[in-house]
């Protein structure tokens, strides 16, 4: 399925700047140390490793994940309700087959796919039941927050 979510006309301010870089660095160190949510958890944090669509450089971003019905992991390109999608969304769109996730010391190669239609709606209900703050992010913007399924490649 295509990565096709356009920028909205309204939304919160896009997170960024030196504070976000500092916070993301702390979050990634915690994720690498703890390894929480690696095996059978329903939610947790992971480090999303993408290839920059313009720079072709590796990019790392901490994100929250949710367990999908099929056992894969779901992430939401919320950008805290900003009118635009986060940069990592466009990196995934450009290179959906060149994605890794890291949880603790475990690194996995995954394929990224944006959900649409009824499948997206079911996943969205599951996500906001677990983390209601995402419903608040959706209220801040008029773009539909993209939900991305990360599926591990077979070993």
Tens digit of pLDDT for each residue in 86-110? 999 999 999 999 999 999 888 999 9
Give the span between the Cα atoms of 17 and 84, in whole angstroms: 16
Query: Is residue 39 predicted with pLDDT exceeding 90?
Result: no
Q: Thinking of the domain 17-152, which architecture would CATH place it in? A: Roll (2.30)
Q: What's the CA dihedral at 20, 24, 30, 34 to 10 degrees? A: 130
Query: Is residue 19 predicted with pLDDT exceeding 90?
Result: no
Give yes or no for a contact between 47 and 31, defined as CB atoms under 8 angstroms apart. Answer: yes
Give yes or no for a contact between 148 and 113, defined as CB atoms under 8 angstroms apart. Answer: yes
- Give this prediction's pTM: 0.90
- Where do runs of H (alpha helix) occur along the chain? 17-34, 87-94, 117-130, 133-140
103-127 burial, b for 16+ CB within 10 Å, e for fewer?
bbeeebebebbbbeeebbeebbebb
Q: How confident is the model at residue 128 (pLDDT cuts 50, 70, 90)?
A: very high
Query: Is residue 36 predicted with pLDDT exceeding 70?
Result: no
Highest mean pLDDT among 3-7, 38-42, 47-51: 47-51
Instruction: Give the pLDDT of residue 32.
Output: 81
Structure tokens at 95: 């290179």
* Of 123, 19, 26, the residue nearest 77 (C-alpha): 123
Question: What is the helix (H) or strand (E) element at residue 41, kind and residue range?
Answer: none
Alpha-carbon 75 to chain mean position: 4
Instruction: Give the pLDDT of residue 155.
Output: 65
**Range with the poorest average pLDDT among 12-26, 62-76, 127-141:** 12-26
Give the span between the Cα atoms of 152 and 79, in whole angstroms: 24
Query: Is residue 136 predicted with pLDDT exceeding 80?
Result: yes
């Amino acid at each position: 399925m295509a990565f096709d979510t356009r920028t909205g006309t309204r939304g919160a301010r896009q997170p960024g700047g030196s504070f976000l870089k500092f916070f993301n660095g702390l979050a990634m160190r915690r994720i690498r140390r703890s390894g929480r949510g690696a095996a059978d958890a329903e939610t947790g944090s992971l480090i999303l490793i993408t290839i920059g669509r313009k720079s072709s450089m590796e990019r790392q971003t901490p994100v929250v994940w949710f367990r999908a019905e099929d056992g894969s992991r779901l992430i939401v390109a919320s950008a805290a309700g900003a009118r635009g999608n986060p940069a990592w969304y466009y990196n995934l769109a450009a290179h959906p087959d060149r994605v890794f996730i890291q949880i603790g010391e475990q690194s996995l190669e995954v394929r990224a796919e944006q959900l649409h239609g009824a499948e997206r709606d079911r996943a969205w209900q599951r996500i906001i039941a677990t983390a209601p703050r995402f419903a608040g992010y959706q209220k801040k913007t008029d773009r539909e927050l993209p939900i991305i399924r990360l599926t591990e490649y077979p070993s």
